[in-house]
Amino acid sequence: MLMETVVAKFGGSSLSDAGQFEKVKQIVLADPRRRFVVPSAPGKRFGSDTKVTDMLIAAHEAVSAGKDVTAYFEPIRARYLGIAQQLGLKTDIGRELDVIQYAIAHGQNVDYTASRGEYLNGLLLAEYLGFSFIDAAEVIFFDARGNYDAARTQEELSKRLAKAQRAVVPGFYGSCIDGSIKTFSRGGSDITGAIVARAASAAMYENWTDVSGFLMADPRIVDNPKPIESITYRELRELSYMGATVLHEEAIFPVKQAGIPVNIRNTNRPDDLGTRIVADAPLCPDDTITGVAGHKGYTAISIEKAMMNSEMGFGRRVLKVLEDYAVSFEHLPTGIDTMTVVVNDKLIAGKLDDVITSIYRVCSPDSVEVTTGLSLIATVGRGMVRQPGTAAHLFSALRDAGINVRMIDQGSSEMNIIVGVETHDFEKAIRAIYHAFVK
């Protein structure tokens, strides 16, 4: 029988120096199923350190500003030479660095430059693990419009992986039709890991980082929140306010399509089980919520008009105004004669007055009211579905904490309840909800 495959992606802090490389090697070699490894570029070794990717981008900016690249490239060179020397690696990394420095100095674009952090780390890691090296530029593709080309990538990459026993594929980048390098958005090695997992039909996508998975709430707000052992892809999307810092939002889609579970693990505490992200997870009756997370910085635009409910096309006209101003909406709570659109402050900044004027012009409402300084809090849990009393429990907790709820939105899946509170109540509300459900 064929052995199952596990794809292991290691983040920047997991590969920030020679000592971290040693930990990664131990982890990879401890399980022969870990056949494909996706590295990030070396990240921070300590709080005030600079990530290699940031140094590369700074080097590119320096060249664009007409400066000499040498001083910017030296610390990058030192990072890789240090790792190679300490681990006794033979790869001619000095030559690779020369080629890259020359290319940056002679106007290579920012994507090429930023991607070299992963490329170089991949070369070193492949030698150190005794794995083959597959350049992501040869197997991960973007189409003519610069969008990720899933079909072409899946075809080429799966063929290539089928021929490899064990390989390292650097994260974060691929190539365009003309052969030029393009990167995903920042943190995009997570996406590469998910793509490789899908192409390898992996049994598991392990994402190794510097935390032992997700916590049920932000530890800066709640003392010692419990870890989340398992969470469904859908719940994670609902909790995306908190998830994005641990796992890139777009990394879920390739593995979700293929039903491959993700395991967030901690390179510095490899015995911790971490969080598993799965398609379906059993409901545990005493664990009604999976997590609570929120975000500050929202504005609610409430539009009132008598008989709105029977006016054909009213909602469409309101949303068309937002679309015309390139503002996407976050939530849309409605009443019989009212409709509220909740938008992110960053998106509406500088446009609010124009949007309101247009709504008056296009929709002839009786009134439009704006509430600023809102925070949204999502309480999410597959255990909330068809559980009578969950909402009552949540709102009693907020009432007992003296918090005024400005907005309520429950998804029809019953898996999430989103409340809008005034920003000065944000932390208090999260603590109240957490403690109401987690004993």
What is the binding site for ligand ASP (CB under 6 A)? 12, 40-41, 51, 53, 117, 171-172, 186-190
Closest contact distance (angstroms) between CB of 93 and ligand ASP is: 18
| Nearest residue (CB) to ligand ASP, 116 versus 276 | 116
Nearer to ligand ASP, 171 or 174 (CB): 171
Which C-beta is closer to ligand ASP: that of 50 or that of 334?
50
Which is nearer to ligand ASP, 205 or 437 (by Cβ)?
A: 205
Nearer to ligand ASP, 16 or 230 (CB): 16
Structure tokens at 236: 């994670």
CB of 225 to ligand ASP, least distance (A): 25
What's the closest the beta carbon of residue 314 comes to ligand ASP, in angstroms?
43
Toward ligand ASP, which CB reaches closer, 35 or 51? 51
Calculate the alpha carbon distances from 251 to 247, 248, 322, 381, 429 in Å. Answer: 7, 5, 28, 21, 30
Using DSSP's 3-state secondary structure scheme, residue 414 falls into: coil
**Minimum distance from residue 292 beta carbon to ligand ASP (Å):** 27
Q: What are phi and psi of 281, to 5 degrees?
A: -135, 145
C-alpha span between 337 and 355 (Å, rounded): 20
User: Cβ closer to ligand ASP: 172 or 241?
Assistant: 172
CA 155 to chain CA mean position, Å: 25
How far apart, in whole angstroms, are the C-alpha atoms of residue 334 and residue 408? 10
Amino acid at 142: F
Cβ atoms of 42 and 71 closer than 8 Å: no
Concatenated DSSP letters for 87-124? HT--S-HHHHHHHHHHHHHTT--HHHHHHHHHHHHHHH
242 three-class SS? helix
Describe the strand order of the beta sheet including 405-410 as a list of residue ranges: 329-331, 338-344, 291-304, 367-380, 416-422, 405-410
- Residue number with the shortest CB distance to ligand ASP? 189
Least distance (Å) between residue 39 CB and ligand ASP: 9
Q: In the complex, what is the shortest distance from the CB of residue 417 to ligand ASP, in angstroms, rounded to a whole number? A: 32
CB of 397 to ligand ASP, least distance (A): 37
CB of 41 within 8 A of CB of 53?
Answer: yes
Nearer residue to ligand ASP within complex by CB, 189 or 288:
189
CA pair distance 82, 437, nearest whole angstrom: 49
Min dist. Cβ of residue 101 to ligand ASP (A):
18
Q: Closest CB to ligand ASP among 12 and 294?
A: 12
Q: Say whether 9 sits in a helix, a strand or coil.
A: strand
Q: What one-character-per-residue DSSP string does 120-165 give?
A: HHHHHHHHHHT-EE--GGGT-BB-TTS-B-HHHHHHHHHHHHHH-S
Q: Which is nearer to ligand ASP, 245 or 357 (CB)?
A: 245
The CB-of-192 to ligand ASP minimum distance in angstroms stands at 8
State the nearest-atom distance from the C-beta of 53 to ligand ASP, in Å: 4
Question: What residues are paired with 173 via a beta bridge?
Answer: 183
